[in-house]
Structure 1
Amino acid sequence: MLYKYSGITKQGKNVNGTIEASGEEEAKKRLKSQGIFYKDISATKEINLKNFSKREMPGPLLSSFSKELSSYLNSGMAILTAIRLIEDQHQKEKKYASFLASLRTMIEEGKSLYHALNSQSVYAMPDFFLQSINVAGQSGKMVPVLIQMGNFFSTQAKIKKQVSSALAYPTFIFVVAIGMVGFLITFVVPKITGIFEDTGQELPPITQFVLSISDFLGNHYIGLILGIVGAIIAFKLAYNYIYAFKKFYDSIMLKIPIIGALIQNHELGRFSYILSLMLASGVSYAHAVKLATTTFSNTAFKEIFEQASHKVIEGNKLSYALQRTKGTKPKRNFMQALALGEESSEVANILSNIAALYQEENDDKLKLLLSLLEPMMMLFIGGVVGIIVAAMLLPIFSMNLGAKI
């Protein structure tokens, strides 16, 4: 991983740059060995062909890997033997087999499972998963951690599948409707209204408006397609590699009604679940908070929890640190539950319950949102089609009225 740093040399000169390391602690050690006293250090992303080709390992596959490996290790096998067995079973899956082969090679060279996962170049792995494996390897709790990680990724994959299935029908209706509207505006409307233009009859304003849209789409459709594709690519690049833009976008998303609540529930629920898993696995509280913080995909939340995690390492409670940290505040019931857990030393149990509660809330809200989405789309599409039909019929009515007069 690439880390961006700013610091001071032994000669008192300010320096800025980047350094490659497997983790933040290793980056700090390398800077220290180079005689650089860092003031700030943070993970960054390097734009290169390797990053574009190295995609994150799919959740279902990561769940399967964790569960299979934990099953073999639980039966008393060595890690190397277990990896070999899994590799033999997945020879037909070329990319996954390549991933397993790279792990096997590095473990045969004497590297740990954590270093093998971190060094392989086939899949990008979630940071919290890597760090969990690192801690599990040091504490001797590899099997329970792998089982819990497998269950976590399996649950996340089910949630994504449920949302995708629920959105499939509305998305299909929307795409078909857009295609029909585009066909009507581009081909049908010009031919019908062209008949009236030949007669010299003045067209109604609504018909002129629809015709202007038709002409624009007909003359610039290639530019529009390229512009949309270019905008999507530019957005993805900006979101992935420009931190300020990503933070601004994530902050805006949290403020959108309903959507913001869904994001908060999802982010806080996932954090709570991972933190409870880490604590149940015997990871220290400060380290578990730091690991769980890496699960945030929303930058606004991640920033405030990262700042709070540094205060937890200094000996403060997480609930206290979050209250004193500037930025987007978590939900009130989360803060209260966390404070209660820290006071009663039952953080793992309480956060596990909070994660289940947020998941249930999101399920209910998603069902309501999706049930309203279909009729809203029908109303919108019906309105657009109605305008097009009116634009075609009004000239006919005008001509009939003119003939009677």
Structure 2
Amino acid sequence: MRGAGRTRSGRTGAAGAEYGRPGGRGSARRQGLPAVPPDRLPGSHGRLRVSAGDRRHPAHDRRRTRRGRNRADRPLHRPDDSVRRRHVAHAGRADDHLRSPEGGVMKEFRYSALTGGGQTISGIREAPSPEHLAADLLEQGLVLLKSKPTLGGIFSGSRRINRKELRDFTQHMATCLGAGVTAVSAIEDFQRQTPGVFGEILADIRNDINSGTQIDEAFARHPQVFSQVYLSLMASGQRSGALDEVFTELVSYLEWSEDLRAQTTQAMIYPAILMVGIFGLFLLMMLFVIPRFKSIFEGIGMDLPTLTVRVMSIGDFMGHWWWLIFGTIGALVFGAKTLFKTDRGALWRDHMLLKLPVVSRFLHKISLSRFSKTFAMIFSSGVDLLRALDLAQEVVGNRVMGLQIARIRRRVAGGETLTAAFADADLFPPLMQRLVSVGEKTGSLDTSLLRASEYLDKEIPRDLKKAFTVFEAVIIAVLGVMVCVAALALLMPIMSIRVKV
């Protein structure tokens, strides 16, 4: 057995030696196969056999594998500055604790601060949080003493500034700057004689300017008071060094806007009073007069006409379910206001207003006049064409016309002329398109649109008076018929009683 074993072993060894020789007949290289290392030859048990000297502990092999993998995974060079900057940009900032929990929503704070000279000042400023407010004031050399949020973040109506105050302030600035008074002195003079919220805002603007902020940037920190048109004109005047002329134009613009608003309000007062009076008379008859006559007629036991029965049924319903009626009206009004605050609802409302038979005429002209006046004033002050179209779009007061102005802007930005862009805008009448074409060809676009605005300003009062005359007649007719029907329903049984007597 041993000999056989040795013989088998010898044969195996000879065969192995023969296969291992480079020039052997069974050479792996001759067969085109890769040579197999001796420690990778499989045994009968299916495992890899290695010599005793090459055997290692499995844990050692795993440690060697981990070390090799770690060395291979290490970068061959240090990351450059761009990689480091990207990493830092994605990392958390050191001032994350100062961020607003609402995601950076600006709030208004009424604050008191201490200047470098020991003087206490107060004002109103927007900031995401009191910490941000303190940091902003510290950059201007002011130390925050106390601050509290205003009611403007909750009740938006409490932060509105009187239009008369804004107009008077603008007139004051135009007069002072035209006389050579500095802007800071002019603001301080008006702020001293203006109590309340507007005075605090002016104090904040004055402090910003004294701290080195540009005047247009100081005004831009209060967008709830100064519109984008106002701020854009101030920025243009700041660049050109003609702030006095800009404030003079703003005075004219604010007076024009106020006159236009006053004309509309004045024309609506009488129809509104008339409608409330007649509707109140109808409610008085249905809720108080008709129920008393009903008890009288029931006591007599007479047969009532069909009209009287139906009117009394309506009166009974209104008397018992008045809370449901007024609640439904209130819900409809609230729902309409909520709907009109959305983009889709406001677009539908403005589209319907432009379709009304009589009212649409003067509403359309009001929007055209606002566009012409605003665009001409902004464009003449040096603002570029596209920015002037953007600002004019915001003040037209009609979403449908605003969409057409946005379409005109896109076409002009795409390289078309203003004349070609206006040619397909059906809400702009041929006269407006012709004036735009002439103004663009002659280089006097602002003058042409000012003439259009002057023409429309003369047309608006006549159309306004005509529209509300028709509206007044319709109100009188509708409510008058309702009152007459209620009165007739009461008179018919009374007349029948007299006939029987």
The answer to whether the 8 Å contact 1:312/1:321 transfers is yes
Residue 90 in structure 1 maps to residue 190 in structure 2 = no
Q: Distance in 1 between matches of 2:305 and 2:218?
A: 71
Report the equivalent of 2:328.
Answer: 227
Partners in 1 of 2:104 and 2:424 — Cα distance?
Answer: 32
User: How far 1:56 moved relative to its partner?
Assistant: 4.9
Residue number in structure 2 paired with 1:357: 455
Contact 2:287 2:315 in 1 (8 A): yes
Partners of 2:340 and 2:190 lie apart in 1 by 36
User: Could you tell me how far 1:51 is from its partner in structure 2?
Assistant: 7.1
Specify whether residues 233 and 68 from structure 1 end up closer, same or farther in structure 2 by C-alpha distance, changes over 3 A only: farther
Q: Within 1, Cα distance between the matches of 2:317 and 2:220?
A: 52
Query: Residue type of the partner of 1:67?
Result: Q
Q: Corresponding residue for 2:405? A: 305
The reply on whether 1:127 has 2:237 as its aligned counterpart is no
Q: For residues 178 and 469 of structure 2, what CA distance do their matches in structure 1 show? A: 45
Sort the Cα spacing of 1:20 and 1:268 in 2 relative to 1 into closer, same or farther, 3 A: farther
Aligned-residue Cα RMSD (Å) equals 2.6
Q: CA deviation at 1:84?
A: 0.6
Equivalence for 2:306: 205
CA contact (8 A) 1:250 1:300 kept: yes
Once the two structures are superposed, the pairs formed by residues 186-265 of structure 1 within 5 Å of their partners are: 186-240=287-341, 242-265=342-365
* Residue 113 of structure 1, aligned match among 208, 215, 229: 215
Q: 1:267, 1:297 within 8 Å by CA — same for their partners in 2?
A: yes
Matched, 1:77 2:77: no
Q: Once the 2 structures are TM-superposed, how far is the Cα of residue 50 of structure 1 from its aligned partner?
A: 4.5
Partner of 1:169: 270
Distance 1:238 1:106 in 2: 40
| Aligned residue in 2 for 1:6 | none
2:438 equivalent to 1:346: no
The letter for the 2-side match of 1:382 is G
Distance 1:248 1:359 in 2: 27
Provide closer, same or farther for how the CA distance between residues 238 and 374 of structure 1 changes in structure 2, counting only shifts above 3 A. Answer: closer
The alpha carbon displacement at 1:387 in A equals 1.0
Give the aligned residue type for 2:468.
L
Corresponding residue for 2:257? 156
Give the Å deviation of 1:314. 4.2
The structure-2 alpha-carbon separation of the partners of 1:106 and 1:235, relative to structure 1 and needing over 3 Å to count, comes to: farther
Deviation of residue 145 (structure 1)?
1.7
Which residue of structure 2 aligns with residue 183 of structure 1?
A: 284
Runs (5+) with no aligned partner, structure 2: 1-85, 87-102, 107-151
Distance 2:479 2:314 in 1: 16
Deviations, residues 202-238 of structure 1 (Å, cap 9, x unaligned): 3222212221221222122223333333332332233
| Alpha-carbon distance in 2 for matches of 1:111, 1:51 | 30
Contact conserved, 1:63 with 1:151, CA < 8 A, in 2?
no
Contact 1:192 1:392 (C-alpha < 8 Å) held by counterparts: yes
Describe the shift of the 1:20–1:142 C-alpha distance in structure 2 as closer, same or farther (beyond 3 A). farther
Within 1, Cα distance between the matches of 2:215 and 2:483? 59
TM-score, with length taken from structure 1: 0.79
Trace 1:277-292 onto structure 2 (pairs within 5 A).
277-292=377-392
Shift of 1:333: 1.9
Q: CA deviation at 1:60?
A: 3.2
SS of corresponding position for 2:371: helix
* Larger displacement relative to structure 2 (263-272 or 137-146): 137-146
What amino acid is aligned across from residue 397 of structure 1 in structure 2?
Answer: M
**1:54 Cα deviation from its structure 2 partner:** 6.2
Greater radius of gyration (CA): 2
CA drift of 1:153 comes to 1.2
Q: Which moved more, 1:222-231 or 1:175-184?
A: 222-231
**Partner amino acid, structure 1, of 2:388:** A
Q: Could you report, residue by residue, the CA deviation over 1:317-356 in whole angstroms, capped at 9, with x for unpaired residues? A: 223223357xx63222212221222122221111111101
Change (3 A) 1:57 1:263: farther
Cα drift, residue 20 of structure 1: 7.4
Show the counterpart of 1:60.
164
Structure number with the higher helix fraction is 1
* 1:332-389 deviations in Å (ceiling 9; x for gaps): 2212221222122221111111101111111111122333444443333432221111
Task: Provide the residue aligned with 1:99 in structure 2.
Answer: 201
CA distance in 2, matches of 1:135, 1:224: 54
Cα offset, 1:78, TM superposition: 2.3
Structure 1 position 243, deviation (Å): 0.8
Instruction: Give the Cα–Cα distance (whole angstroms) in 1 for the partners of residues 176 and 427 of structure 2.
Output: 43
The 3-state SS of whatever aligns with 1:255 is coil
- Percent identity reads 21
SS at match of 2:321: helix
Question: Equivalents in 2 of 1:118, 1:54: separation in Å?
Answer: 20
Q: How does 1:3-14 map to 2 (within 5 A)?
A: none
Equivalent residue letter for 1:134: A
Aligned equivalents of 1:322 and 1:131: distance in 2?
24
Q: What are the Cα deviations for residues 24-58 of structure 1, in whole angstroms up to 9, with x where unaligned? A: xxxxxxxxxxxxxxxxxxxxxxxx94573465544
Choose the corresponding residue for 2:480, options 367, 382, 385.
Answer: 382
CA distance in 2, matches of 1:251, 1:275: 23
Q: 1:170, 1:259 → 2: CA distance?
A: 13
Instruction: Please give the alpha-carbon distance, in whole angstroms, between the structure 2 residues aligned to 1:391 and 1:344.
Output: 70
Counterpart secondary structure, 1:294 = helix
Segments of 5+ residues of structure 1 without an aligned counterpart are: 1-9, 11-17, 22-47
Q: Is the 8 A contact 2:170 2:250 kept in 1?
A: yes
- Amino acid of the structure 2 residue aligned with 1:170: P
Could you tell me how far 1:192 is from its partner in structure 2?
0.9
- Say if 2:434 is the partner of 1:336: yes
Match in the other structure for 2:417 = 317
CA distance in 1, matches of 2:282, 2:496: 24
Higher relative contact order (CA 8 A, sep 6+): 1
2: distance between equivalents of 1:313 and 1:139? 25
Aligned length: 355
Given residue 203 of structure 2, which amino acid in structure 1 is its aligned partner?
A: A
- What is the CA deviation profile of residues 248-280 of structure 1, one whole-angstrom value per residue up to 9, with x for unaligned ones? 111111121222221221111111111221233
- Per the alignment, do residues 291 and 167 of structure 1 end up closer, same or farther by CA in structure 2, a change over 3 Å counting? closer
Decide which of 360, 368, 377 is 1:268's aligned counterpart.
368
